[in-house]
Amino acid sequence: MWTCLCQLCFYLLSTLAVAALSIAALVLYKTKPYPNIKRHKDEETFLDPHTIKTVTFPSLEDSPSLELSVIVPAYNEEQRLPSMLDECLAFLEQKSAGTPNFTYEVIVVSDGSQDATVSVALGYSKKHGAEKVRVLELIENRGKGGAVRMGMLSARGRNLLFADADGATKFPDYDKLEVALKQLAPEWRDDGIAIGSRAHLENDAIATRSFFRTILMHGFHFLVWLFAVRSIRDTQCGFKLFTRTTARKLFTSLHVERWAFDVELLYLAENLKLPMSEVAVRWTEIDGSKLTPFWSWLQMGRDLFMIWVRYLVGAWRIASIQKKEK
């Protein structure tokens, strides 16, 4: 009997090993190791509402010419975008007035929006000038990660922040991130990421959320810890500040363009041993989220597993390391 059990276990383990090797081989065969970042010709320019002329965006590879670039990914955000931009620009204008060397730009990235998002954003560009507010209109929907990446690749700042269009995070908390980033990276040539975090609000969230959503939240956090990021408690807060050097490394290496892109970014940062600081920010849940709890978490769980598998078997590699080796 024991002999039969041992043989059965051997066959099962052999089958699992063969299946695992087959999956790894398939992933390696089907997957390109480095991201293929495509950009439509019309996405290389922005409209200056005052001159009614199109102007070519700069490149992230250029030297910086401003202190801060704010990237705002927006998909069908005509309703929520105005309040976010009002708070953002009021804060930045006040900071600019009080700090002579502080210069900024806001890049609103419309991710294939079907509503009036572009028109709303262009209204702010006309009001504040294209030097301060620019609109990048993506031809097709790429996903939040893809929109953030395109904005980052078009930015002029020494430091680059991406902030969600819903305005859930209080924009004046940028000052907290700035302080944390300067402690990690005194110069833009240094590496560093300051990560806005809602981890301190978790108990309040549990108290107001349904049992089902609480289970999903804890399950997602566990999967993030298991497959990807272990040093950051809140990977998903849409308020992250990067030095230009770090943004170059991460956003040229990013594969995931949808909701799980934050996790891959921080996974890359951990693997590259980039300095990171998690900073508590004020956050309020805003109606109109594009996430549907069950299906979005399911998709993100799948993406987390695939991030882990692809890097584990070498199907995905880090582009910045490739450049360094060359």
DSSP one-letter string for 213-250: HHHHHHHHHHHHHHHT-SS-S----SEEEEEHHHHHHH
Instruction: Indicate whether 304 pLDDT > 70.
Output: yes
Span 154-168, mean pLDDT?
96
Query: For residue range 220-249, what is the model confidence (pLDDT) as tens digits?
Result: 788 888 888 999 999 989 999 999 999 999
- Cα separation, 225 vs 159, in Å, equals 28
Query: For residue range 177-228, what is the model confidence (pLDDT) as tens digits?
Result: 999 999 999 999 999 999 999 887 766 554 445 555 567 677 778 888 888 8
Span 143-160, mean pLDDT?
97
DSSP string, 152-185: HTT--EEEEEEE-TT--B-GGGHHHHHHHHHHH-
Strand partners, 194: 241, 277
C-alpha angle 225/230/232, rounded to 5°?
110
- Site of tokens 């700042």: 157
Q: Return mean pLDDT, the chain.
A: 86
Query: For residue range 259-291, what is the model confidence (pLDDT) as tens digits?
Result: 889 999 999 999 999 999 999 998 887 776 666
Whole-model pTM: value is 0.86
CB contact at 8 A, 78 and 172: no
Domains of the chain: 41-325 (3.90.550.10)
Predicted local confidence at residue 85, as pLDDT? 98
Q: Up-side HSE of residue 324: CA atoms within 13 Å toward CB?
A: 10
Query: Considering just the CA atoms, what is the radius of gyration of the chain in Å?
Result: 21
- Cα separation, 75 vs 142, in Å, equals 10
Q: Return the amino acid letter for 230.
A: R
CB contact at 8 A, 269 and 230: no
Strand partners, 109: 73, 136
Query: For residue range 91-142, what is the model confidence (pLDDT) as tens digits?
Result: 999 999 999 899 999 999 999 999 999 999 999 999 999 999 999 999 999 9
Q: Return the amino acid letter for 207.
A: A
Residue 164 tokens, joined: 């969600």
Query: For residue range 43-67, what is the model confidence (pLDDT) as tens digits?
Result: 999 999 999 999 999 999 999 999 9
Predicted local confidence at residue 318, as pLDDT? 85
- Cα separation, 288 vs 165, in Å, equals 11
Q: Return the amino acid letter for 115.
A: D
